[in-house]
Structure 1
Amino acid sequence: MGETWISPDQRIQKYIISMGKNGLKPTENCECIMDVSASTYDVKRYNESSFVVGDSSDSFERLLDILLTTMNEGEKAKVVFKLKEKNVEFTLELIEFKSDGFIFEWDAKKKFELASKHKERGTELFKIMHYIDASHRFSKAIKLLSSIPIAVDKPPTVIDDLPICEVYSLKTVLCNNLASCYLKHRDYEVVIELCKRVLQREANNVKALYKMAVSYYEVHDYHKALETLEYVLKLDPENKAAADRMKDFTQKVNETNAKVNAMFKKMFT
């Protein structure tokens, strides 16, 4: 075998069998034709159709994204992926790829369209409870939108025939969706920060406010939790989820107040 390449996080090991042609390597959104073999993993689908770098929906494919960006056209290598469940070994030959240019060359409309596709796929993954995979899609979409150059001092209303308001609107939805993923994984501090970003654009976004209220409760900031939940019910009096949580939130605030009052009473008696 020839050279060896190991990713910084040690999750990918590539042992080069043949180098292929020197030149450009696949980048985001490149369409790759490859031959994958000698694996106990289900790789058949990667030989039957092209694989688009960045269009990944699970941990194996996200590592495949990274691997392909290190390969020359015609390169063949023995590969080991260290997945959470187990190690997967296989041989991969990158037969050819069709470049889609570099991200910095894409116009705003192209980035927006691709971000929209990631949002749709992320929503599908969330519905089937693949929350980590969904979060990767939403995050990727946010990064694409954030790469659209918008002047801070005098932001335009349109860029590359794309209304800037649509960019802001989609980014707000994505932050809200990403907050839902983190809520499922109980990463409450991140949920709060993401919801704050949503509320900067949409101060009365009920879904973001509810997720923020639940997260405040889980990090034991009961007063903020109750205050936020009360605002949710003010905006949406028929919100059953909020109404159901109100009793618990109120009880915790009363308990906290009682403890504080008891502490002060003990200090001054």
Structure 2
Amino acid sequence: MYRETMISCRRDREIRKTIITPGDYTIVPYEDSRCKIRLTDVHCRNADGVCEMEPTSRIFNNPFDGNVIIGDMDSFVDRDVELILQQMCCGEVCVARLTYKNTHGDLMLDINCRIELVDVTEEQLISDWSWARLYESAVHHKERGVQLVKDKRIVDGFRRFSKALKMLVAIEPVDKNTIDAERAKEIINLRVKLFNNMAHCQLQFEEFGATLDLCSRALKYDPENVKALYRRCIAYIGLLMYEEAWEDIQKALAIDPNDKASIMKANELKPHIEKINKDYAKVIKKMFG
């Protein structure tokens, strides 16, 4: 058995592995590689002793077929297993340990297991992917993110949207010789949807500054996007910037006068705007008699 090595270390998390049997160092997994793994001797505990496994984990819960695509996991535990796999060679067997603590240093979860990387299907590096494959991957991550948000896994959904956006960024600059105008438009539309979805996630945690930035980015590409105007309005309200919020919601209503959410938000804002106008009128009256 080899010496234990640290894969990742933070205050709240430590990931270690110890090689039992080395593998072929010329074949290692990276982004989008298909891995076949075998898990045995899995033990899970917390500060109170033996405990149940993290319920969102796909790798450590049944049914699991042993197949892992690097970069396609959502649970924090599964993503950490991906980190371990990327530090393994095809054919390698190791003992892995994943330890999680809270902000006070108390043990929340400790997983010990034996991992065998049975097979690795090598893929191209992302830098070598075609624009079509990058776009396809972005759509995949976006759709998965939407489902995670529906399942109330907001943080995991946001991570998927961010990953999709990175795929689109990798396409730039758009080569007009290989991407026609219609495809370029689809890429822009997907980018706008991702900015909107990420803004929605940020609003769930009242991160109004981040929401404002994301909506502004969406509106840069699509100035008449009602969702972006509505969500930026909410962000402005959260930042107590009522006049800016009013301007956005009025723009949204000018584009779609029947949008119920915008109508409700305008009615909610109206007393604030009336008070601002009233206070302004008082100031002017004092200044000019």
TM-score by length of 1: 0.87
Counterpart pick for 2:236 among 197, 216, 225: 216
Look up the match of 1:254: 274
- Whole-angstrom distance in 2 between the partners of 1:27 and 1:127: 29
8 Å CA contact 1:108, 1:160 repeated in 2: no
Paired-residue identity, %: 27
The total of aligned residue pairs comes to 266
Shift of the 103–164 alpha-carbon distance from structure 1 to 2, 3 Å rule, reads same
Shift of the alpha carbon at 1:66?
Answer: 2.3
What is the SS of the residue equivalent to 2:31? coil
Q: Which residue of 2 aligns with 1:76?
A: 94
**CA-to-aligned-CA distance 1:103-145 (integer Å, 9 cap, x gap):** 1111111111111111111111112221111111111010011
Greater displacement, 67-76 / 224-233? 67-76
Q: In 2, are the aligned partners of 1:53 and 1:65 still within 8 Å (CA)?
A: yes
Matches for 1:188-199 after TM superposition, within 5 Å: 188-199=208-219
Give the Å deviation of 1:228.
0.7
State the partner residue of 1:39: 43
Q: Letter of the 1:144 partner, please give it.
A: M
Q: Distance in 2 between matches of 1:167 and 1:83?
A: 41
Aligned-residue CA RMSD (Å)? 2.8
1:56 aligns with 2:73: yes
Q: Paired residue for 1:245?
A: 265
Distance in 2 between residues matched to 1:28 and 1:226, nearest whole Å: 44
Q: Residue 99 of structure 1 aligns with which residue?
A: 122
Aligned residues of 1:34 and 1:47 also touching (Cα < 8 A): no
Distance change >3 Å, CA 132–CA 83, structure 1 → 2: farther
1:23 aligns with 2:37: no
Answer yes or no: is the 8 Å Cα contact 2:9–2:15 preserved in 1.
no
Structure 2: where are the runs of 5+ without partners? 45-52, 55-59
Counterpart of 1:148 in structure 2 is: 171
Q: What is the CA–CA distance in structure 1 between the aligned matches of 2:124 and 2:101, rounded to whole Å? A: 30
State the shift of 1:65 in Å. Answer: 2.4
Cα drift, residue 248 of structure 1: 2.4
Aligned with 1:174 (options 194, 200, 204): 194
In the superposition, the TM-score normalised over structure 2's length comes to 0.81
Q: Which residue of 2 aligns with 1:9?
A: 10
Q: For 2:256, which of 231, 236, 251 is the aligned residue?
A: 236
Aligned partners of 1:36 and 1:47 also within 8 Å: no
Aligned to 1:158, the other structure's residue is in SS state coil
Write out per-residue CA displacement over residues 170-221 of structure 1, whole angstroms, 9 at most, x where no aligned residue.
1111111111111122111111111111111111000111000011001111
Q: Give the aligned residue type for 1:237.
A: P
